[in-house]
Amino acid sequence: MIFIRHASPRAIGFFLAIFGTALFSIKSIFIKLAYAEGLDTDSVLMLRMAIALPVYLLMMVWLLRVNKSVPLLSGKLLKITFLGFIGYYLSSWLDLKGLEMISAQLERLTLFTYPIMVALLGALFFKTPLTRKIILALVITYGGLLVTFYQELHFSGTNTSLGTLLVFLAALSFSFYVLFGKKLIHQVGSLWFTSLAMAISSAFVLVHYLLLNDISNLDVSAMAWLWLFLLAIVSTVIPSFMISEAIAKIGPAQTGIIGTLGPLVTIVLAVWILNEPFTIWHAFGLILVIGGVTILTHQPKPTTNPKTHQP
């Protein structure tokens, strides 16, 4: 609490981005453990969002009680609906489907190609400058990710290409959410935006399941319920608010690139909990990733006049 009280908005943004990324990164582990209990993509995604949905609805009720009003949504609700669709429904389904076919490490590495997509899409749609610092950080970081990526291909099954493609498309979908959500987050507020987007995406997920599956055939073990609850709350609800607020404070490009810390968390847990292989090439890739993120987050101290310092 002392840190939050005295820290600058930029520092808080980096804090939220780092810890939100870490919590999101545990997602792959919980999903793999749920798959081990006999569940499939549609079941895991539906139950995850069914557990999370009441939290987002309660958040909106609380916001109404505190603020006594709903933010002006005229012209914005359709955009939020679209972002909820691509950012958490479509992206999540593609990600979970790909995770059925590839390892948690490979999934996380592929999913975290999205920061470079955010930077490139930002340059394409918003003329956001690609500074030498960002380019250098991206090259080093993704060099490390690619080293680990190719090493993982030796341990994956026959559906590696399809699984990787699905997760890559999930990353592309999520990058649009990160990039185009920034303006709406500022206009509506991160809590309202996240609650609305996630509630809308939950509705898409529930309709998807009911249309394509027979809920009477759903069989969930006690252990699976534990993994699903942790997936929904620890790796969905909490980090979704953290990441949205981070985007509002430090922008989508830096939030996205800080997200490259995610593979570090996932790989450590995948090796420890899921017994996935880890080689010297994985270690080399991790070193490059850490180096790239360090270059990005390092801020030089102002030399004379602090007003001339460029963030």
Q: Encoding tokens for residue 191?
A: 């809590």
How do residues 92-141 score in pLDDT, each as one tens digit?
999 999 999 888 888 887 777 776 777 778 888 877 777 787 788 788 87
Residue 1 lies in a domain: no
Residue 303 lies in a domain: no
Least confident of 13-17, 21-25, 288-292: 288-292
Residue 54 lies in a domain: yes
Rounded to whole angstroms, the Cα distance separating 159 from 228 reads: 25
Residue 131 lies in a domain: yes
Residue 272 lies in a domain: yes
How do residues 249-270 score in pLDDT, each as one tens digit?
887 667 766 776 777 788 889 9
Q: How far is CA 274 from the centre of its chain?
A: 21
Rounded to whole angstroms, the Cα distance separating 148 from 128 reads: 29
How do residues 187-238 score in pLDDT, each as one tens digit?
888 788 888 998 999 999 999 999 999 988 899 999 999 999 999 999 988 9
Structural domain count, the chain: 1
CA distances from 16 to 9, 99, 125, 141 (A): 10, 26, 26, 20
Residue pair 107/95 in contact by the 8 Å Cβ criterion:
yes
**Parent domain of 188:** 8-298
Residue pair 162/110 in contact by the 8 Å Cβ criterion:
no
What is the pTM (predicted TM-score) of this model?
0.80
Residue 307 lies in a domain: no
Residue 308 lies in a domain: no
